[in-house]
Amino acid sequence: VSLRSKRLAKRLDPAASAFLDSTLEDAGLLLDDIIGSLAHVSVLEDAKVLDATEAGRLRSALRHLFKDASEGEVPLFTEHEDVHMNVEVALTKVLGDLGKKLHTARSRNDQVATDLRLFAQRWTLETAARIRDLVESLLWLSKKHPKAVLPGYTHLQVAQPILLSFHLQAHAERFLRDLARLRDAYERLLVSPLGAGALAGTTHPIDPSISANALGFDRSFRNAADAVSDRDYLAELLFAASLALTHASGLAEEFILFTNQSFGFATIGDDYATGSSIMPQKKNPDVFEVTRARSGTLLGALVASLSGLKALPLAYNRDLQEQKRLFVQTFPLVAPNFGLLARMLRSVTFHPERMEAAANEGYGDATELADYLVRQGTPFRDAHHQSATLVRMAGQKKVPLAALTAKEFAKVNPKIGADVVKHLGPHNAVKGRKSPGSTGPAHVEAGRKQLLAELATIENFFVAAGQAREAAWMTLLGKTSKVKK
Amino acid sequence: VSLRSKRLAKRLDPAASAFLDSTLEDAGLLLDDIIGSLAHVSVLEDAKVLDATEAGRLRSALRHLFKDASEGEVPLFTEHEDVHMNVEVALTKVLGDLGKKLHTARSRNDQVATDLRLFAQRWTLETAARIRDLVESLLWLSKKHPKAVLPGYTHLQVAQPILLSFHLQAHAERFLRDLARLRDAYERLLVSPLGAGALAGTTHPIDPSISANALGFDRSFRNAADAVSDRDYLAELLFAASLALTHASGLAEEFILFTNQSFGFATIGDDYATGSSIMPQKKNPDVFEVTRARSGTLLGALVASLSGLKALPLAYNRDLQEQKRLFVQTFPLVAPNFGLLARMLRSVTFHPERMEAAANEGYGDATELADYLVRQGTPFRDAHHQSATLVRMAGQKKVPLAALTAKEFAKVNPKIGADVVKHLGPHNAVKGRKSPGSTGPAHVEAGRKQLLAELATIENFFVAAGQAREAAWMTLLGKTSKVKK
Amino acid sequence: VSLRSKRLAKRLDPAASAFLDSTLEDAGLLLDDIIGSLAHVSVLEDAKVLDATEAGRLRSALRHLFKDASEGEVPLFTEHEDVHMNVEVALTKVLGDLGKKLHTARSRNDQVATDLRLFAQRWTLETAARIRDLVESLLWLSKKHPKAVLPGYTHLQVAQPILLSFHLQAHAERFLRDLARLRDAYERLLVSPLGAGALAGTTHPIDPSISANALGFDRSFRNAADAVSDRDYLAELLFAASLALTHASGLAEEFILFTNQSFGFATIGDDYATGSSIMPQKKNPDVFEVTRARSGTLLGALVASLSGLKALPLAYNRDLQEQKRLFVQTFPLVAPNFGLLARMLRSVTFHPERMEAAANEGYGDATELADYLVRQGTPFRDAHHQSATLVRMAGQKKVPLAALTAKEFAKVNPKIGADVVKHLGPHNAVKGRKSPGSTGPAHVEAGRKQLLAELATIENFFVAAGQAREAAWMTLLGKTSKVKK
Amino acid sequence: VSLRSKRLAKRLDPAASAFLDSTLEDAGLLLDDIIGSLAHVSVLEDAKVLDATEAGRLRSALRHLFKDASEGEVPLFTEHEDVHMNVEVALTKVLGDLGKKLHTARSRNDQVATDLRLFAQRWTLETAARIRDLVESLLWLSKKHPKAVLPGYTHLQVAQPILLSFHLQAHAERFLRDLARLRDAYERLLVSPLGAGALAGTTHPIDPSISANALGFDRSFRNAADAVSDRDYLAELLFAASLALTHASGLAEEFILFTNQSFGFATIGDDYATGSSIMPQKKNPDVFEVTRARSGTLLGALVASLSGLKALPLAYNRDLQEQKRLFVQTFPLVAPNFGLLARMLRSVTFHPERMEAAANEGYGDATELADYLVRQGTPFRDAHHQSATLVRMAGQKKVPLAALTAKEFAKVNPKIGADVVKHLGPHNAVKGRKSPGSTGPAHVEAGRKQLLAELATIENFFVAAGQAREAAWMTLLGKTSKVKK
């Protein structure tokens, strides 16, 4: 089964053939290709290209092939160039010329575009599911540690005390935005390109909305040339993954810091740490380090995608094959990483006494002291100055602000009363935060509930999307039970 | 007005000061900073930090400042570090200590986050408006040229004839997706960070929803640490711009090709071309070339943004200042480019005879010939073979397929009748396309109407968004008439 | 053989284990790892850690292992984490505890750094060899086509006629610079990190220069912490590859244009083109398209590398494993691409008559006409104006400038004599170029010889480097004949 | 002075004009443009295009212009499009038509290529000088702190104790490699493109080596089409800067960590820190943070450059203007950053007691303990196990290993003698490192001297390069004294 036209007198140089071969990355698209063909059978039957018997035989053969492929029993051969031809060859072995007839009113250009969108749906559903796991772990940890305080940092310098739960919820906010971006991208995935042909549509009076509906797409393409050349969705998903992993890299960075001996804020479970063959004392946070690195890897994939799309004329160019390769390669790098972080976070032990000590050592309550002075009538600028002076005094004694004596306080400002200590120290500071969205305990708890509600909303979207997709596939496969996706 | 704490005994090294200075990029945020302060006045009044008289005086001074700034009469001084301090200094000159009181219950961290989101709204509205202009120009051209045919390309080799209008609409599809991405991003811009303080909220019992509403945001932040450190929206907009300019680069590439002498498909208006001081014959498409280059520039800005965000611990780090600089710098590079393309496209003259000749020369109707043979009962593989043979014969004679003689046709397949020419040639080929979304004339016209409808929908979104924003600003400025944005 | 310290009470979560596993990419480093161990035996023997018998047994076992690995008979097991432990396990099976003794005075940190540098040497030598093939093909084509003219373009508008050979040599210049960059990078590869230990050197009084010399490095590391953490060479090679592929993308773009029907300047050999299953006339330049795309892929790899290295503290961080993965993955994408282009270019047929016609159609000789007028005393500005007028006249008649009649010439400027045609037309224009480095035929031929000389010089460097490396390996393997690298 | 050919009937749309204008970035090239013109005068005089009087008048006018431009008194006007036309207009004002004659035998294409190479030389010399400052500061600090120990990290977990000086020298090694890359890039800058014309050379029999020599280039171009289109050097310099700033980002990251309160290893001078308006205790390392961010910014510029160069056909395309803009914009971002770091590092105070305590707390001497046991005859695996047990015991007591009692040691291994403490603790551990390149004090001191020697060598290269360049300029300017570059 060669696609080489009679115009081409020579066989392809084997080096060129190896260079252009895409069966390796296509292996990930095999199920998508078969299911797409099943939908196309209905289009051809509707257009009278196939009669009912032919359609039935094709369906049956494709469903068998799908089953075999699900069980890993359909090898792809390089000599057949790509997944589409491999499927055609497999069909033809069983059905003879009828197998080839399936290629009516479509081309590899719309076929690969369909496969990629179906694959991208699976990629997105899986990634979204694992990010949801991660958000749940963060909120689980947040609920588990309602009272632990942490030095809040700006410029990685101790700034103001915050609740650990508040901090974890800040991370959850980021990943919720990632889920929203994945949701928007998913909606743009639901346009079927099947039936666009090479670039101009087809001379057969087919109805592309039939396969679009059968595959669970929202609608069919509106312009064939756009349908075969659009790869926006890959770039958009790579961006979403890149930003989500950038968020993960920030989380990873913090845990690398927090488990460092000088911080000592947290310990990773032994089942997520590595040791050293020569340093007996080591316990290394490798998963966090590789996560941090992977944010760069996804950024690289995004650059490769966008740079690869630059300045291409319409419509299909073989450059687009590289887009496919790049995207398929990221599948094992994205969703599993979030899933692993979700599990690993639940193994973390926090050390509240170390966190509190660090907040004290860094004088995170200096703002509270200044605010206390202002409430007593000291002008803000003077209050700021006096608080800084007291920080310096406490620093020389190596004690927290609250451990200064009444005499020492009075030396700087005689109005400072014994009640000042009620405002000092990380716990008091945190309790003093009164505004919505602040680290005040009631506001943090309220925030957690809002996060849970938003998570549920977005989870509903993805669950419904996944179910709709699965139902469509089940119907195409002639099944009622669950299919392994 | 120095921000230097009493803890710091020395003045900043002037080299460090120059290095850290952001007044240049902050100039673009001046109006946003003032309007944000106006909203904050209401928050402080509600929280009883300001009484009605104080609030009134602050509002009046800020409105004057806004007016002056609109007219370019508020210079920013490097010695005051950033836009926020410049505004505070200007206020203090007029109001004395009352000017400083405005800084209660906020910090520069939530302030700059607010300014940036307001700026990003303007950036997005302007970009969306200019992309809409471009889509309109494409659809205007499409309507103007309903019958012109173009050789459709795959691999930049002549593939199948298409309508020029179909081709232009394929480009319009891309930009419509860009508008949808901008819309989604805009919705995520509508969360106000004002009132988050340095990172932990504030001890004042303020209601941040007051300023959120006043500024036209949808809601206020939910977590203060996230509010001050989130720069997702900048990365998201840079991605959207990068992809939109990638689309523009493809359009530009085509016009660079089409205006090349060998193609000769189109001519640019003289008011958009450049000449040469030494080559008298030259007419160069510089705007298209710079557009093509700018897709790389925006990709670079996106990389700088995402790489810059990598592995930052919570919450505010000065690294974020670079995000601001990068983003503000893209303002003149994005929207104006789309606006210019929109105008320039309307100056283009197409040369249908050259396009048609190219479609003929490339034998774009070879598929039609094969299809004809199939309809006559020739098996597809043989039909494909015979069509290729006839292409070779026509190529040797340097004529289109339709110019082959009946004898020549018969030599290859005696069943070929005189009616074959009704299917050959670009115009016949195009008419033969029957499927929805194809290049068939009726389908193209239907597609154009659908595009117009979708454009109107998204235009409504942005117009409404812009009006809501303007109304909010007008209220804050105590005006009823239009403000110059 | 587990590396897990007794500190770690639990087995690694299988998901974490899968996430951190590097055996796949390490497979490419297997030979490098074994050869590095052979060099380390001599270091340990010199330091009396091993006696002569032990050293001999280790050498013998390692040489056997190398032979098996060369023949693909050494599988790597994921359970042993990485290539280093796999080799140790294989050794220990044969030698018992003596196998483990080899790990004295080194750690996996310096070991992987050594492996990577050895691999990077092979990567560089192979890439340089294939780029040399490409330069040779360009110069071969240039010699083959000494007289063919091409329209030289600026802004892809016909500018001035040039020789095809001149044009091909311009491409050769670029690739020669790439070779120079690879040479500079290769020299920086010749620093051995072996003996740096985990990061601080070792308590054993070893002499790292012994292994450095044995492996063919120029010198040993100077600072152990730098030695284990330096990955500059990977970024530098990825940059060099990225720029070289950017050059290739320009070449590819041109051949995509030149083989387009409207240009028709060249035809690719049938053994390097692909057809279409549905369009009988197609002959597609897929290799050039994928080459163009790959420049984006390498740029992505470079971004992943540099972004991944950002803000890492000293010394080893697991992030560096991702650098290894990224780099090893590029091996099949770089050198083979240049090799394929080199072969493919030799299959190209040029069509001088089409190139000449295009130069004429674009009035590439308008500058010559203006220069002629200047030589006749017309002020430059007027000459430029008159030439433009004549271009317009010729354009309306659709003829070349040289086909204008004496009367027509005289109408614009009566001084124009019959001799003007000696200066017009692409061939005359090219001959008129007098300056060194110009497209004048003698200068092009001189340039070709200079290019050949420079190519020979740089080829000598790489050949010598490759031989030195091979000699070192042969000695370590106890052989005198050639080893298959 | 319009460059618009008579072919173009309309004025450029002002929006297009604004879009294409490059005078802003060209301002940085003004001196380079004038000096290039001075060199071109000699070429034209040699070719008899100018007689001695004309040449003299042009030289005099250009030297005056250079002086005015040096003093900032030559404004560039947007209406003249670019720096070249601005200079021509300024000349013509003084000299009339003679000013225009200078444009003989060159075009803006070779002119801008020349300007950019001259600018890139200045960029490189300045960057190299500031990186040298930084290396000197690192080595100055290293010499200043010969005995301070630091916990060496892998995975940011305490690994083995090292000398602070050893650590600082590891950073110096990186920057020395950056200098080597800049040197290699500088050598590739020394090819003059002047005389290449638009792309094909010129009809005038000029000798381009005259201007090449006069400007201090090593040689003239070999191929005119390559000469006008080559921008490799910009990409290469952006890569070198990007990697050097990546190194700086690692240094910055460490100082951000080291000045964090939990580490407390170092304090920044007050003249390089910033405070907070609301948090009295703050002292922020903003310069380090912006440095860290800038590594991303330069990576973005590199991506913009390489992506912008992708798939451009020969020769000049207006896309190259964007390369100019991108590169010129980085001038203030690169060299000054290194210069500032060099100054800032000298302001840092280290806290050896905190560093030593951290090394103890992290049991960085556990490897030493295991090595001690091995020397006493314990098999390595058992020694590793016993050392880990003792680490756990010390950890429970919260004391360093050396503070365990003889009884405790004996409980784990009775052979452990009183002498064990001579090997424990960071200082003993460091002294125990015996191999070249290790952290052993003698080896660190030897390394410092080697670094100084290598720095001197590379400094000599750049000083000589700078002097050669200045001498050439002086001659062109008819001066003997120093010129302000």
CA-nearest residue of chain A to C104? Answer: A278
Q: Determine whether the interchain pair D274/B308 forms a contact, defined as Cβ–Cβ distance below 8 Å.
A: no
Nearest chain C Cα distance for residue D481, angstroms? 34
Q: Which of residues 217-256 of D touch A (CB under 8 A)?
A: 256
Residue A163 forms beta bridges with which residues?
A149
pLDDT of residue A485: 43
Q: Which residues of A touch B230 (CB under 8 A)?
A: 173-174, 177
Pairing, β B157-163 against β B149-154 = antiparallel
8-state DSSP, B180: H
In this prediction the ipTM stands at: 0.96
Pairing, β D191-192 against β D219-220 = parallel
E strand or H helix that includes residue C391: helix C380-397
Q: Is B280 on the interface with D (CB under 8 A)?
A: yes
Identify the band that residue C298 occupies on the pLDDT scale cut at 50, 70 and 90: very high
CA-nearest residue of chain D to B347? Answer: D13
Q: Determine whether the interchain pair A363/D388 forms a contact, defined as Cβ–Cβ distance below 8 Å.
A: no
Q: Determine whether the interchain pair D318/B19 forms a contact, defined as Cβ–Cβ distance below 8 Å.
A: no
CA C474 to chain centre: 27
Identify the band that residue A3 occupies on the pLDDT scale cut at 50, 70 and 90: low
User: Which own/partner contact pairs does D70-74 have at CB distance under 8 Å and 24+ positions apart?
Assistant: D70/D31, D70/D483, D70/D484, D74/D30
Give chains near D: 3+ CB pairs under 8 A.
A, B, C
Best of C150, C153, C155 to mutate (most B CBs within 10 Å, chain B): C155
pLDDT of residue B278: 77
Q: Are A94 and A68 in contact (CB under 8 A)?
A: no
Q: Which residues of A touch D286 (CB under 8 A)?
A: 155
Mean pLDDT (chain A) is: 94
At residue C192, what are phi and psi to the nearest 5 degrees? -85, 130
pLDDT of residue A179: 98
pLDDT of residue D3: 55
Q: pLDDT at residue A483 above 70? A: no
Catalytic, out of A2, A17, A60, A276: A276
- Nearest CA to C2 among B283, D381, D344? D381
Mean pLDDT (whole number) for A186-197: 98
pLDDT in tens, chain B (485 residues): 355 666 788 899 999 999 999 988 899 999 999 999 999 999 999 999 999 999 999 999 999 999 999 999 888 988 888 999 999 999 999 999 899 899 899 999 999 999 999 999 999 999 999 999 999 999 999 999 999 999 999 999 999 999 999 999 999 999 999 999 999 999 999 999 999 999 999 999 999 999 999 999 999 999 999 999 999 999 999 999 999 999 999 999 999 999 999 999 999 999 999 988 778 888 999 999 999 999 999 999 999 999 999 999 999 999 999 999 999 999 999 999 999 999 999 999 999 999 999 999 889 999 999 989 988 888 887 888 899 999 999 999 999 999 999 999 999 999 999 999 999 999 999 999 999 999 999 999 999 999 999 999 999 999 999 999 999 999 999 997 554 44
Best of A160, A162, A256, A262 to mutate (most D CBs within 10 Å, chain D): A262
Q: Which of residues 71-130 of D touch C (CB under 8 A)?
A: 100, 105, 109
pLDDT of residue A386: 92
Q: Is D302 on the interface with B (CB under 8 A)?
A: yes
Q: What is the pTM of this model?
A: 0.97
Nearest chain A Cα distance for residue C182, angstroms? 22
Q: Which residues of A touch D156 (CB under 8 A)?
A: 256-257, 260, 285
Number of Cβ within 10 Å of residue D343's Cβ equals 18
Q: Is B440 on the interface with C (CB under 8 A)?
A: no
Q: Is C12 on the interface with A (CB under 8 A)?
A: yes
Q: Are D372 and D418 in contact (CB under 8 A)?
A: no
Number of Cβ within 10 Å of residue C483's Cβ equals 15
Report the alpha-carbon distance of residue D266 to residue D352 in Å, rounded.
9
Q: Determine whether the interchain pair A220/B437 forms a contact, defined as Cβ–Cβ distance below 8 Å.
A: yes
Q: Is C285 on the interface with D (CB under 8 A)?
A: no
- Cα radius of gyration rounded to whole Å, chain B: 30
Q: Determine whether the interchain pair B303/D282 forms a contact, defined as Cβ–Cβ distance below 8 Å.
A: no
Give chains near A: 3+ CB pairs under 8 A.
B, C, D
Least confident window among A243-247, C177-181, D76-80: D76-80
Q: Determine whether the interchain pair D199/C242 forms a contact, defined as Cβ–Cβ distance below 8 Å.
A: no
Q: Determine whether the interchain pair A285/D155 forms a contact, defined as Cβ–Cβ distance below 8 Å.
A: yes
C407 class by beta-carbon count within 10 Å (0-12 exposed, 13-18 middle, 19+ buried)? exposed
Q: What is the DSSP string of C409-471?
A: HHHH-TT--GGGGGT-HHHHHHHT--STTSSSHHHHHHHHHHHHHHHHHHHHHHHHHHHHHHH
Residue A266 forms beta bridges with which residues?
A350
Q: Which residues of B are catalytic?
A: 155, 276
pLDDT of residue C342: 98
User: Which own/partner contact pairs does C271-275 have at CB distance under 8 Å and 24+ positions apart?
Assistant: C271/A10, C271/A11, C271/A12, C271/A13, C271/A16, C271/C347, C272/A12, C272/A13, C272/A16, C272/C343, C272/C344, C272/C347, C273/A8, C274/A3, C274/A4, C274/A8, C274/A12, C274/A20, C275/A3, C275/A4, C275/A5, C275/A7, C275/A8
Q: Is D292 on the interface with B (CB under 8 A)?
A: yes
Catalytic, out of D5, D155, D277, D307: D155
Low-confidence ranges of chain D (pLDDT < 50): 1, 483-485
At residue C282, what are phi and psi to the nearest 5 degrees? -80, 145
- Percent of chain C past pLDDT 90, that is, above it, reads 86
Q: Determine whether the interchain pair B306/A392 forms a contact, defined as Cβ–Cβ distance below 8 Å.
A: no
Q: Which residues of C touch B279 (CB under 8 A)?
A: 154, 159-160, 366-367
CA-nearest residue of chain D to A155? Answer: D284
Q: Is B439 on the interface with D (CB under 8 A)?
A: no
Q: Is A28 on the interface with C (CB under 8 A)?
A: no
In one letter, which amino acid is C85?
Answer: M
Q: Determine whether the interchain pair D227/C437 forms a contact, defined as Cβ–Cβ distance below 8 Å.
A: yes
Report the alpha-carbon distance of residue B477 to residue B67 in Å, rounded.
9
- A220 as an active site residue: the answer is no
Cβ neighbors of D216 (< 8 A, separation 6 or more) are D190, D468, D469, D471, D472, D473
- D276 as an active site residue: the answer is yes
Q: Is D52 on the interface with B (CB under 8 A)?
A: no
- Alpha-helical (H) ranges within A30-163 are 30-46, 52-70, 83-95, 97-101, 108-144
Report the alpha-carbon distance of residue D233 to residue C177 in Å, rounded.
10
Q: Which residues of B touch D302 (CB under 8 A)?
A: 300
Residue B262, classed as helix, strand or coil, is: coil
Q: Is A385 on the interface with D (CB under 8 A)?
A: yes
Mean pLDDT (whole number) for A418-434: 95
C298 class by beta-carbon count within 10 Å (0-12 exposed, 13-18 middle, 19+ buried)? buried
Q: Determine whether the interchain pair A173/B222 forms a contact, defined as Cβ–Cβ distance below 8 Å.
A: yes
Report the alpha-carbon distance of residue D414 to residue D230 in Å, rounded.
73
Report the alpha-carbon distance of residue D462 to residue C96 in Å, rounded.
55
- Nearest CA to B36 among B62, B57, B55, B1? B62
pLDDT of residue C1: 39
CA-nearest residue of chain C to D253? Answer: C311
* Interior angle at CA D362, CA D358 and CA D366, nearest 5: 130
Give chains near B: 3+ CB pairs under 8 A.
A, C, D
Q: Determine whether the interchain pair A5/C305 forms a contact, defined as Cβ–Cβ distance below 8 Å.
A: no
Q: What is the DSSP string of B228-239?
A: HH--HHHHHHHH
Q: Determine whether the interchain pair A261/D358 forms a contact, defined as Cβ–Cβ distance below 8 Å.
A: yes
E strand or H helix that includes residue B431: helix B425-431
